[in-house]
Structure 1
């Protein structure tokens, strides 16, 4: 995946928004391809005191919501809050999730790729907002 960089974002924020939209759209399609792996994880989770799928759902919902705000708004009034939220929202900071993700790396390749791309989108949004959101002068 191509990274947004300081050299190309300021020149064309519209292109950056379109790219964020494309990554989001691709993720929505890829999520459907993880159905069987999600079923397997759900069965595995039945004996656990935590939910990998629950964390993925929260992560997905929060990032999709932030991506939609960026895509649908030219000015974000709460951009600092969004950056703080996305910075704090690092699924790999959840110890049991990280343990699951990094153990048996060959298991659940589609869902793990989905998580990686979702995390990539999170970072893209942080970068985009950091470069394009400046306080409005009233």
Structure 2
């Protein structure tokens, strides 16, 4: 099973990325409403990030890559970024896994937000793979 969402071309993937970025902005405020409950149910310890901090880090990384594509249509070092994204855990992070599979009715907005972050990750991976194929074709043509 592949970890990518196959789209026809990088432009189509870029449009999808822009839509998901807009949805994340809207979802972010909804997710914020659940933070007090999350912090109560999943208190931070001194050795690791809290659940909310983990989500914030993912948000910063994924939206950062998405915004690079949105505003410049490019990302520096395609190979490194692709490797980083493929190895970026979302639900593989123990604290996020625990939150996501906890009582389903307790954090619906946060779960939706995590799903959207995960979808953005796969769109970014697909865009990068398409961009790398395009770059390889351009190099062969010259």
TM-score range (shorter-chain normalised) is 0.7 to 0.9
How far 1:16 moved relative to its partner?
2.5
| Pair 1:87–1:27, CA change in 2 (3 A) | same
Unaligned runs of 5+ in 1: none
Runs of 4+, deviation exceeding 6 Å: none
Whether contact under 8 Å (2:14, 2:69) holds in the other structure is: yes
Whether contact under 8 Å (1:63, 1:121) holds in the other structure is: yes
TM-score (norm 1): 0.82
* Aligned-CA RMSD value: 2.2
Cα deviation code 1:50-80 (max 9, x no counterpart): 5110100001100001111222233434111
How far 1:4 moved relative to its partner?
5.1
Whether contact under 8 Å (1:4, 1:16) holds in the other structure is: no
Unaligned runs of 5+ in 2: none
Distance in structure 1 (CA, Å) of the matches to 2:51 and 2:120: 19
Distance in structure 1 (CA, Å) of the matches to 2:126 and 2:30: 28
| Pair 1:87–1:38, CA change in 2 (3 A) | same
Distance in structure 2 (CA, Å) of the matches to 1:118 and 1:75: 20
TM-score (norm 2): 0.80
1:18 matched residue in structure 2: 15
Alignment: residue pair count: 131
What SS class does the counterpart of residue 93 from structure 1 fall into? coil
| Pair 1:44–1:125, CA change in 2 (3 A) | same
